[in-house]
Amino acid sequence: MSTPAAAPQAAPDPGRWRSLSVILAAAFLVGLDFFIVNVSIPSIRASLHATFAQVQLVIASYGLTYGVFLISGGRLGDIYGRKRMFMWGVAAFTLTSMLCGLAPTPGALILARALQGIAGALLFPQVLSIMQVTFPPQERAMAFGLFGTVIGTASFSGNVLGGLLVQANILDLGWRPIFLINLPIGLAALAAALRTVRESRSPKARRLDLGGVAIMTLALCLLLYPLIEGREAGWPWWTFASFAASLLMLMAFVRYERMVTARGGSPLVELSLFHDRVFVIGLCSGVCFFSSASAFFLISTIFLQNGLGYSPREAGLTFASFAIAFLASSLSSVRLAPRWGSRIINTGAALMIAGLTALLWLSNSRGSALTGLELAPVLLIYGTGQGFVMPTLISSILMNIKGHDAGSASGVLSTVQQVSFASGVAVIGTVFFSALGGATSVSSFVAALRTAFTVNICLLTATFLLILRIPRFPARNS
């Protein structure tokens, strides 16, 4: 059984590191466009005379369509070719970015953003799939480490880049360059992918499971829409009804996929993936980690600006130590992973817990006198921990996945990540605002911060405990 497994490793793609730089550039754009809009909202609203509800939909439409179609996007790569779907995704993302940048009305921008999310869902799963089938096992930890670094960088650089582009007001275009900047990068990635990325597909996936697509799309819509909109709406009754309906649709999806598999068909999701203990435990730990990480910036930014009175510029500079630490530790995790294995995730989670605990102690003791300089060491600890966790966690989740299941597994992982981001912001954000109430004093913000970050610490503790059940993955890759 070991001889066939070793065959594809004998002659790895000689251009794999060049192709990695191309696909990671495209993945960066997808991640960047989640966050680059946030700082541009006032400019968009004034320019297009949009209502607050329309501005909210500009943000939500991208996240909703992206999260809903990730699994289908991954499966399309399995069937029709990962390189082909990647290039179609990049082309579509570039085109829809142009539509966003040229949108004349709020409605046109909302529609363009929804289409941009679908394009991102077609593109993004191919990145993980191409990495999984292109790199030999002993190099995957490094490849996934670089992937985690790029995605993490995209998450905190969006606000910075968006603010710079809006402030620069290039050619008097206001907010529009935040989307138009994707055009030259997308076209360059498209041209480079044509030359450097090697085609692959799954021999098991023969045709798209349209029934499974329909059921999963409905289930994810019922789950994601209330997660994205529920907190702003005050969690009305329909949000809980939608959650219940989503659970029923997910149960129906599993039954339908079992029927398709029993008939010898090609299911949307290979349910055999969930027979892999490492994959399941990894996904559960991923839910805990990504839910905690997604809420950190939201809560911290509100605390700094609304609680302590920091300007947007001061708040952004405060997170500089986090950014430096994240970049350094995520890159170093690539070198440490072969020796430490999945234990590097435990180290990172412990550092994040220590950072949050120190932040709560510091905010409680210093109150309104708390300065960004005092926060820098705390954010350095937290950022180092997150840099250790993110790249290695992705590698751990996918370590046992075979090449023919790469698209299905990548789609599931990306969907879980997106749902976790949305649920973390919704749930922990609700905890924070509920604890804050209508109060505006610094002590009230500190108390609300303590309540919200206690939830974060519990989630990170769960991540730590779950990872203890994952074996050291280098033993599998050596």
What does DSSP assign to residue 76?
A: H
pLDDT at position 205, please? 67
Question: Which pair of structure tokens corresponds to residue 459?
Answer: 């989630």
Extract the tokens encoding 11.
């002659």
Report the chain's mean pLDDT, rounded to a whole number.
85
pLDDT of residue 23: 93
Q: What is the DSSP letter of 40?
A: G
| pLDDT exceeds cutoff 80 at 39 | no
For the record, the structure tokens of 1 come out as 């059984």
Identity of the amino acid at 118 = I
Q: What pLDDT sits at residue 368? A: 76
pLDDT for 3: 41
- Which two tokens mark 47? 């320019």
**Cβ pair 149, 330 in contact under 8 A:** yes
pLDDT at 476: 41
* Lowest model confidence (mean pLDDT) among 338-347, 446-455, 468-477: 468-477
What is the pLDDT at residue 2?
A: 40
Output the six-digit token pair for 163: 């603010």
Strands (E), 12-142: none
Confidence (pTM): 0.83
Write out the two tokens for 100.
């966003």
Q: Residue 264 — left, alpha, or beta (φ > 0 → left; ψ -120 to 50 → alpha)?
A: left
d(CA 88, CA 307): 45
Instruction: Determine the average pLDDT of the residues in 288-317.
Output: 81
- Tell me the one-letter amino acid at 34: F
Ranked by mean pLDDT, which of 17-31, 145-159, 385-399 comes out on top?
17-31
pLDDT digits (tens, 9 = 90+) for 419-459: 888 888 888 888 888 888 877 788 888 888 899 999 999 99
CB of 364 closer than 8 Å to CB of 446: yes
